[in-house]
Chains A and B, each alone.
Chain A
Amino acid sequence: MDTAQPSRARLGLRAVMITAVAILAIFPLLNQLPADNVFHVSDFLVSVSGKWICYAILALSLDLAWGYAGILSLGHGAFFALGGYAMGMHLMRLIGPRGSYGHPVLPDFMVFLGYQELPWYWLGFNHFSFAMLMVVAIPGLLALVLGWLCFRSRITGVYLSIITQAMTYALMLAFFRNDMGLGGNNGFTDFKELLGMPLNTGAARISLFYASLIALVASYLFCLWITGTKYGRVLTAIRDAESRVRFLGYNTTSHKLFAFVASAMMAGIAGALYVPQVGIINPGEFSPGNSIEAVIWVAVGGRGTLVGAVIGAFSVNGLKTWLTSAAPDLWLFVLGGLFVAVTLFLPKGLVGLLQGRAK
């Protein structure tokens, strides 16, 4: 969709992105201003925008898969949650003997469930670098297996969407089980520290905020770069006419697979940054509803534009935060209405509106 764009509009979009990042970057500074100042940003807004930045990374990853490769994943929330769980496992290990039961190694829920020793898949998570590797490796591996199976058999369109939805649904059921050794119903919570920093301090919040912002910029630049390469062009061509690209001699399976895996890894990073900020991860993150909400962020912003995904994530979540406190009953109507309105009247999303003006 960005192929026929006039360059002025494209530059405009990048300007929007730069402005948005710049505004976000000074949020913690504005937070330091006295409360009666016009530019004061409340603690709540800082912490909530930290969450939104993670959502924006998830939206970017989905835009790469859906907007550029044509893979409408209804299970991206699963990659997000897996990254979150990997981070959660690291944070749980860092609690150490400070849990309610005071066990030196085992997290509270394992003591409660009568575990004698740490299950093998928990080993290594006490090292930050190993945990960070897993944050990208686990979602990436799942995407690799699922993508390879699906793309190889040429499963596309709605079938692929349903399969990804079934995947996240199956994972949700599995993670709800106590004998998975991953906290069952309650998931992980009561985190204490990360990289030696106590999580309940303002410094930790601000560090995580900037870490998320840097990750967002990095993800954006990565997507921008990859969609601009020849590989990106082929990917867009696959989205628009897969059979034709295949007949031209390209291996469409591996092209799509790369995009899907990269996208899943980005979603994993978003989840890993999200968990220490909200302080909890539980199987509810796998619910199909979460994944489909991420799809609507991209759709509202305008898919296949990258900036659109970011704008969509911020605007829809801003609307949600405002509405769920102002008129909680109305929110699901508005969300449902967004699905209808965007598909019927605004197929190019908010970015499409901006571009229409630029022309």
Chain B
Amino acid sequence: MRPARSVMKRIIVLVLLLLAAMPARAQDAFLTALPGLGGGFGAQVEAVERLGALGDPRALPALRALSEGRLLRLADGTLLIRDGATQVNAATGAPQQAAEADTQRININNRVRGALRGALGQLQIISPDPDERFAAAEAIFRSRNAANVPLLEAALARESVPRVRERIALALAASRLVASDPAAKLAGITALGATASPEARSILLEARAANADVLPQIEAAVADIDRRLAIRRVAETAFQGLSLGSVLLLAALGLAVTFGVMGVINMAHGEFVMLGAYTTVIVQDLARDIPWLQPWSLPLAVPMAFLVTAAIGAAMERGLIRHLYGRPLETLLLTFGVGMMIQQAVRLAFGAQNREVISPPWMQGTLMLPFDVPVTANRLWILCFSLVIFALILAAIRMTRFGLEMRAVTQRRAIAAAMGIRTGRVDALTFAFGSGIAGIAGVALSQIDNVSPNLGTGYIIDSFLVVVFGGVGSLAGTLIAAFGLGVINKMLEPWAGAVLAKVFVLVAVMVFIQRRPRGLFPQKGRAAEA
């Protein structure tokens, strides 16, 4: 039975093939080039290049099939394209079934593969789909054939999508590099040198051997790319560092007021940050049912978090801390205990697992800064937000009546009292102010960190280091210390790893405090003795 069926199939195939071939004329360049795909490697390369240059869309499926190992050859030289379970004739596109035993998969080598990349690129570059055009430009860029130059020039003139345009320009430059015309070659080198692409760099390095005559130009172009890549790396590190710095700054600012200005050590500071983050979650949940309020839940959470944590801070100062002024070690233990209780209360009330915080649309996505540095929008917002909060705090301390009283009380309590300032009230307000800032920090950190009862513990040591490093009592010092430590941390990370970089920074700050126990910006005069 089996041989008979196979013979039958062959006959059917033959008939179909004849039928399919009929409309085509011998003059059809596509059909004359196609059988070459089934030949030896040399013939394959030739056929692939001819098909690519023809720009005939019919060639695309066959070339794709060849590159993906789906092109089959029958004994008579007919080429079939396997598409899942079905098979189609490569020349006509008509369905045609052949038994597994009769077909032979056509193998290719690397040379053919290279030619295929270029040819596929040439054909796809006219595709209506921008993603496909992008992929095509990519393929041509890799295959690098001077013959593609006119094709790419035409494609570049047509192209309107910036992303694809950029890629086509790169492919054009790479194709020009292998052109025989010295002027085109130089143009290609210059164009490649104007990019910041590591791939363009490796292509130029490869081309050095074959182009001894334009070696200086190539070297210059490589140097150009290197410079641009270095700038991009520096810019990336700088932004990451500034971003980390802004987080440190937000976490430390509240402490800079309570510990730095007021001299009260508050180990529950991290818990205030955590409470601010939970306030954000609550405001978000409340706003969920009110459509017009929903996008504003985050801005609304800022004052809410300030009020909540400030109220708790004021209560804590009046109820507990007030009794321990002048005994910093006891204050430390007391506030640690309070922090522990706050943490446990939140854990019992909201559960130990992370709470989800939804970022508003304007905080999502990624932006491109100059030098091709990608930044996530929320990081950029937090960076700006931290600077705004810093400016507001500075203004509050320097320009308001409350700030004046606060400075008066911290500098000379007795004289301030004699001047009629209610020092107890100022103490409570100052502590509430610092706690409120911690709450605001929590709103920002809820966007980039897990909102869980442990949120605050991770920040407390960092915050203290920032405040001490910057100089206790100096807000400007806190700013510089936060950004400085952030950038140093990110600079160390590539070669030390994230954890070790953090350890290095901790040790570095500890050693630095040895040299300058009062921080970067020590207070001068009487305040330094306090």
Q: Mark A161-192, 1 if CB is under 8 A from B, else 0.
A: 11101110110011011000000000000000
* Cβ B500 vs Cβ A340 within 8 A: no
Q: Pick the interface stretch among A98-106, A200-208, A327-335.
A: A327-335
* Cβ B329 vs Cβ A153 within 8 A: no
- Asked if B502 is at the interface of the complex by the 8 Å CB criterion, the answer is yes
Q: Mark B335-351, 1 if CB is under 8 A from A, else 0.
A: 01111110111001000
Q: Pick the interface stretch among B130-138, B200-208, B508-516.
A: B508-516
- Asked if A292 is at the interface of the complex by the 8 Å CB criterion, the answer is yes
Tell whether A336 pairs with B341 under 8 Å between CB atoms, given A159-B513, A344-B320: yes
With A163-B510, A344-B324 already in contact, 5 other A-B pairs whose C-beta atoms are closer than 8 Å:
A159-B513, A162-B461, A174-B503, A299-B333, A342-B333
* Cβ A333 vs Cβ B344 within 8 A: yes
* Cβ B500 vs Cβ A174 within 8 A: yes
Tell whether A343 pairs with B461 under 8 Å between CB atoms, given A154-B517, A329-B344, A336-B338: no
* Cβ A173 vs Cβ B329 within 8 A: no
* Cβ A343 vs Cβ B333 within 8 A: yes
- Chain B residues with CB under 8 Å of A152's CB are 514
* Cβ B323 vs Cβ A292 within 8 A: no
- Chain B residues with CB under 8 Å of A333's CB are 341, 344-345
- Chain B residues with CB under 8 Å of A351's CB are none
How distant is A153 from chain B, measured CB to nearest CB, in Å?
A: 5
Q: Using C-beta atoms within 8 Å of the partner chain, give the interface range for chain B.
A: 35 or more
* Cβ A161 vs Cβ B332 within 8 A: yes
- Asked if A296 is at the interface of the complex by the 8 Å CB criterion, the answer is yes
How distant is A144 from chain B, measured CB to nearest CB, in Å?
A: 15
- Asked if B81 is at the interface of the complex by the 8 Å CB criterion, the answer is no
- Asked if A158 is at the interface of the complex by the 8 Å CB criterion, the answer is yes
- Asked if A124 is at the interface of the complex by the 8 Å CB criterion, the answer is no
- Asked if A210 is at the interface of the complex by the 8 Å CB criterion, the answer is no
* Cβ A173 vs Cβ B510 within 8 A: no
Chain A residues near B (Cβ < 8 Å): 72, 149-150, 152-155, 157-159, 161-163, 165-167, 169-170, 173-174, 176-177, 288, 292, 295-296, 299, 329, 332-333, 335-340, 342-344, 347
- Asked if B328 is at the interface of the complex by the 8 Å CB criterion, the answer is yes
- Asked if B481 is at the interface of the complex by the 8 Å CB criterion, the answer is no
- Asked if B265 is at the interface of the complex by the 8 Å CB criterion, the answer is yes
Rounded to whole angstroms, the CA-CA distance of A78 and B332 in the bound complex is 19
How distant is B345 from chain A, measured CB to nearest CB, in Å?
A: 8
- Chain B residues with CB under 8 Å of A173's CB are 499, 502-503
Tell whether A165 pairs with B461 under 8 Å between CB atoms, given A170-B507, A336-B337, A336-B341: yes
* Cβ A347 vs Cβ B330 within 8 A: yes
- Chain B residues with CB under 8 Å of A161's CB are 329, 332
* Cβ A170 vs Cβ B517 within 8 A: no
* Cβ B328 vs Cβ A169 within 8 A: no
- Chain A residues with CB under 8 Å of B339's CB are 336
With CB as the reference atom, state the residue of chain B lying closest to A330: B344
Q: Mark B115-130, 1 if CB is under 8 A from A, else 0.
A: 0000000000000000
With CB as the reference atom, state the residue of chain A lying closest to B510: A163
Contact partner of B513 (CB less than 8 A), chosen from A163, A292, A296, A347, is A163
